[in-house]
Amino acid sequence: MVVFHNHHKLISNSITQAQMKNIWNLLFLSILVSCTASSRRWDTSPIARNEKLYVVNIDNAPREDFINLSSFLQDVETIILETNDNCIIGEVNTIRVLDDYIVVMDSEITETVLVFDKEGRFLHRIGQIGQGPGEYIDITDSSIDFEKKEIYLIDFPTNMVHKYDIISGKFINSIYIDRDDFKSYFMQYVNGKIYTSTIPYFGTDDSFLLQEFYASTGNPKSSYLNASAYNKGWNDFYSRSDGFFYPNEDGSIKYIQMFMDTVISIRNDEIMPYLAIKSKNWITEKDIQDLIEYKIANEGTLSHEILFGRNISYNINHYFDLDNIVYFQYLNSGNMEFVIYNKENNTTRRADFLKDDIVYNGDWFLLPSFAYADSKGVYSYLKTEQIPRFLEIANTGGLNADLDKRDILEKLPEDSNPVIFYYSKK
């Protein structure tokens, strides 16, 4: 069996747009930030206890060669995003869905947010590059207020969060985030609060991972999750293409950092552990300390020998919940592994590959890039750079005969915008 799949991508801590573009295609790179030690101690608030915490025992799960996508999803709706000079997408940063609107954040070509309908027709942009009202320099994350149908965009260089109406694209207002001694690339809106994933500018042994702000003023409210307790002591820049927040249409979110073994739930005003990973191979504080020491000694580079050479697991990513099913990917010794956990009967499946047998027919397929899940299914997208390979598979009989819009997919131009597949839950 030959399997084609996309590699997990990481970004550096540079704040210039040119550098950000150049390094999205590199794996596990980070740049050392020269800074002096700080004597400040962060005061963090406690999180709630969860007596119904889900525990996923990876070690006890039988390893399978691959898991068929059809074992937990079914059917698929194809959404072919319109391609024209006003909406060319280079690199998908986030995909969010509100009612009949699909909101795509492009981090490469337009460097803006594009709104399409569910037929794939381009409707309008939200904001643009600039320094005027409603404009931004470098947006790094987006979040939707599902009740008010508004979108929040964080502009990293300016510490600003900009708010817009999704339906019209109209700019509403901007909020200055009082971040003090830390920086934030990722954020989410929940019930009148803005939560950011935080990285300290100055070294500290007791920094926090999550900061809560009032959405109306941008003033800080509370800090949560000590890095020493929840991320094995790591709180330097180390990120990924799908970020750390996973939103739900009910307004709640899940939060997972790179080395955390616990998924955190943020719902209304309650923050608590939701799901924990149990594995003797999960990355330890000693591994993290070795990683930090190597980075300091080697001008900011991260040790592939530690991350890839040791038998350690880390990096829960592309996470989503569908009723009783939890899906996520993680890395072990640099290799991707796939997990499906059934909350109802507390069973876990683990495999080296996830085979998309809903879109594809046979052994040639592309790994789905899951971007967003709602109550009825999950959205995945075919990246622009994957389309030429997708067409090769399509033109050799590699697509399922009953695939939605198969005839159109087989004739896609190679420079088409990403294609979205919406899989229904079983």
Q: Which among 98, 94, 101, 95 is positioned nearest to 118, based on CA atoms?
A: 101
Token pair in block for residue 15:
């704040």
Calpha distance 261→257 (Å, rounded): 9
261 burial level (CB within 10 Å; 0-12, 13-18, 19+)? buried
pLDDT at 265: 98
**pLDDT tens digit sequence for 377-398:** 999 999 999 999 999 999 999 9
Tell whether domain 17-35+52-425 is in CATH 2.120.10.30.
yes
Look at the pTM and tell me if it is higher than 0.75. yes
* Angstrom distances, CA of residue 104 to CA of 96, 117, 426: 7, 11, 26
- The confidence score (pLDDT) of residue 302 equals 82
Give the pLDDT score at 123.
98
- Where are the chain's structural domains? 17-35+52-425
- pLDDT at residue 204 in the model: 62
pLDDT in the model for residue 39: 37
In the chain, pLDDT over 90 holds for what percent of residues? 76
pLDDT in tens, 307-341: 999 999 999 999 999 989 999 999 999 899 999 99
- DSSP codes, 235-288: -SS---TT-SEEE-TTS-EEE--TT-SEEEEEETTEEEEEEEEE-TTB--HHHH
Report the pLDDT averaged over residues 198-213. Answer: 83
Q: Which of 242, 235, 257 lies closest to 181 in space, CA to CA?
A: 235
pLDDT digits (tens, 9 = 90+) for 60-116: 999 999 999 999 999 999 999 999 999 999 999 999 999 999 999 998 888 899 999
CA dist 156 and 137 (Å) reads 8
**Highest mean pLDDT range out of 7-16, 19-28, 31-40, 384-393?**
384-393
- Name residue 410's amino acid: E
pLDDT reading at 300 higher than 90: no
* Separation of alpha carbons 390 and 195, rounded Å: 37
